[in-house]
Structures are given as C-alpha cells and as structure tokens.
Amino acid sequence: MSVPVAYASVVLLWSTTPLAINWSLEGGSFAFAVFSRMIVGLLCAVAVLLVTGVGFPLHRTVWPAYLVGGTSLFGTMLCTYWGAQFIHSGLLSVIFGLSPLVTSVMAALWLKERALTPVRIVGMLLALGGLVIVFGDGQGLGSPQAGIGLAAVLLAVFINSAGLVWMKRVAGHTPPLAITAGVMLVSLPLFGLAWLITDGHWPASLPLRSVLAIAYLGVFGSVLGFALYYYLMKHMDAAALALITVVTPLLALFLGRFLNDEALPAQVWGGAATISAGLFLHQRGLPALPACFRRRPS
C-alpha cells in the first residue's frame, strides 16, 4: 500500500473513532467498552496473521516494541475512554490536535529529528492559542464535568506522544500487523485488570449501536488503524505522522454535529482555524514572499 493511501485511510478511521467511542459507552462502563474493544481487536489481528501468513515474532529483540506500544496504548486508551464520558466526541478529536506539538518537542529532544526554530515555536504557541479559543468559555463541552474530562484526554495526548516517539526508536523492521498484535497482547491483561478494578460487571444488555461501535472499533479502529499507523511510522518522521491528529478534528466535529446532534459553538471554528494556521507555521514555516516584494541586492 502506498503511503498516501495509508495516510488517507488512517485519517478516515480516526475521524470516525471519537463518535464510535461515544456510542460504545452506551449501556456499559468505560472500562468494559475499551476492554471489549481490545478483545475483538486482538482476535481479529491474530486471525489476519494466520490468514495472511505474516509471521508473529516473539524473539527477544521485538519485545521492547511490544512492551512500549502496549503500555502506551493502555495509558492512552484508558484516559481517553474515561474522559470521553464527559465531553462531546468532536471535542475529543480536537484535543488531540495538541499531539503534533507535544510529539515534535519530544522528537526534537529525543530523536533529534527537527530543530525547534523560532518560527516553529511561534506556530506551537498559535496552535495552543487556538485550543484556548475552542475551550475558553466552557460552552458546549458536553457536561458540567467537562474540565476533568479534558484533563484526562490531555494526559492521553502526552502518553500517546511519548509512546509514538519511543516506538520510533524500538520498532525496528517488525511487520506492522505483527506489532499491532503484539501491542494488543501486552495491553489486553492491563485493560482486563482495569475493568475488574473499576467495574467487573458484564452489562445486562447493550444497545445495538453500542455493540456495532465496539465491533467497528475493534476491527477497523484497532487492527486496521493501528497496522496502518505503524506502517506510516516506518516511512514518516514522528512530527509529520502526528499531523494526522490535526486533519481529523474538523471531520470529527462534523460527524458529531450531524450524526450525534452535538452542539458546535461558533468559537470552535475560529479555534480550529487558529490551530491550522499555527500548525502550518510549525510544519512548513513562513510562506515565501512574492518576487515583487523581495529585496534586490544593491
């Protein structure tokens, strides 16, 4: 698969993921929703490995990638699902707009991928200002407990960014599908333990929409999404890969508005535009001046 096709597929999958997470929480606890998603995901990943004949390495050199990815996935997903109880699905995706900023800082300090130039720092500050605009007045955030939900998802952003940069160092040449299965294999017992501690009860009944959302997240959001994500990780630098989380918020906001009847305050659009401008500066720098404005040598 070409990198552009894989990139577009991940954008589409991740744009629908916040709404699916919101629907999967209906009728059960947040811990049950994420645990059941990972069960479905691991079963699908193993089935695909068997059908395609892709090897599943278990030698000593691949376990660092599995452990790093598994613990990062556990922390990211647990915080995300817990926070998703209190905020709208579209806003869940908007918060992850911070990921490119956090990831770029970590990649610059850890992987020495790109320098933090003054223009890039200005872009980071501008994007951060956009998030302040989006969440500044507290309107339309989803519930009176939106503040703690935002804090949980922000923590998920930092865990996800750290995991991305760390995985970039240890993933090596392991097939992306094998990494996906290994990461899920490591994280699944952690999700099961979290479910037992926080809830431990199987729901008496689940709405059909919740069941379908869990299945969708397990099959597409986890197996296909993570496999493509790790594939892209091998072909793109960490900061560029994190830009996926900049494209998806607007699409997720539209889906939440029209499919879940979520309020979409006007300042969200202003904040989203500010975030886009800041991330353009952060990734591409200042645009070149037209030739007529350039200073000619004397």
Burial 96-120 (b: 16+ CB within 10 A, else e): bbbbbbbbbbbbbeeeebbeeeeeb
Predicted confidence at residue 115, as pLDDT, reads: 61
Q: Which residues, at least 6 apart from 86, have a Cβ–Cβ distance to it below 8 Å?
A: 142, 143, 145, 146, 148, 149
Side chain identity, residue 216:
Y
Q: Cα separation of 251 and 248, whole Å?
A: 5
Predicted confidence at residue 48, as pLDDT, reads: 86
Enter the pTM of the model: 0.84
Predicted confidence at residue 246, as pLDDT, reads: 67
Average pLDDT over residues 16-26: 93
For the chain, give the mean pLDDT: 82
Residue 295 domain-assigned (yes or no): no
Predicted confidence at residue 155, as pLDDT, reads: 95
Predicted confidence at residue 196, as pLDDT, reads: 95
Predicted confidence at residue 236, as pLDDT, reads: 78
Instruction: Kindly report the length of the chain.
Output: 298
Q: Cα separation of 175 and 166, whole Å?
A: 17
Predicted confidence at residue 208, as pLDDT, reads: 94
- Detail the DSSP E strand segments found in the chain: none
Which residue would you say has higher pLDDT here, 79 or 97? 79
Please state the φ and ψ torsions of residue 105, each to the nearest 5 degrees. -65, -45
Q: What is the largest CA-CA distance in the chain?
A: 81
Q: Residues 28-86: pLDDT tens digits?
A: 899 999 999 999 999 998 898 888 887 788 888 888 889 999 999 999 999 999 999 98
Q: Which two tokens stand for residue 229?
A: 């994500």
Q: Which of 9-18, 162-171, 235-244 has the lowest mean pLDDT?
A: 235-244
Q: Residues 187-225: pLDDT tens digits?
A: 999 999 999 999 888 888 889 999 999 999 999 988 888
Q: Which domain holds residue 99?
A: 3-285
The answer on pLDDT for 298 being more than 90 is no
Predicted confidence at residue 136, as pLDDT, reads: 66
Predicted confidence at residue 278, as pLDDT, reads: 79
The answer on pLDDT for 105 being more than 70 is yes
The answer on pLDDT for 235 being more than 60 is yes
Which residue would you say has higher pLDDT here, 287 or 284? 284
- How many domains is the chain partitioned into structurally? 1
Residue 290 domain-assigned (yes or no): no
Find where tokens 């998703």 sit: 84
Predicted confidence at residue 290, as pLDDT, reads: 43
Picking from 156, 191, 170, the residue whose alpha carbon sits closest to that of residue 37 is: 191
Predicted confidence at residue 217, as pLDDT, reads: 94
Q: Which of 19-28, 207-216, 220-229, 234-243 has the lowest mean pLDDT?
A: 234-243
Q: Are 269 and 134 in contact (CB under 8 A)?
A: no
Q: Residues 146-198: pLDDT tens digits?
A: 788 888 999 999 999 898 888 877 766 777 788 888 999 999 999 999 999 99
Q: Which residues, at least 6 apart from 51, have a Cβ–Cβ distance to it below 8 Å?
A: none
Geometric angle at alpha carbon 233, from 222 and 247, rounded to 5° = 70
Predicted confidence at residue 289, as pLDDT, reads: 40
Q: Residues 108-140: pLDDT tens digits?
A: 777 766 666 787 788 888 888 887 887 765 555
Distances (CA, A) of 112 to 30, 37, 104: 37, 35, 10
Angle between helices 30-52 and 208-216 (to 10 degrees): 50
Report the share of the chain in percent with pLDDT over 70: 86
Burial of 13 (0-12, 13-18, 19+ CB in 10 A): buried
Q: Are 238 and 57 in contact (CB under 8 A)?
A: no
Q: How many CA atoms lie within 13 A of 173 on its CB side?
A: 0
The answer on pLDDT for 281 being more than 70 is yes
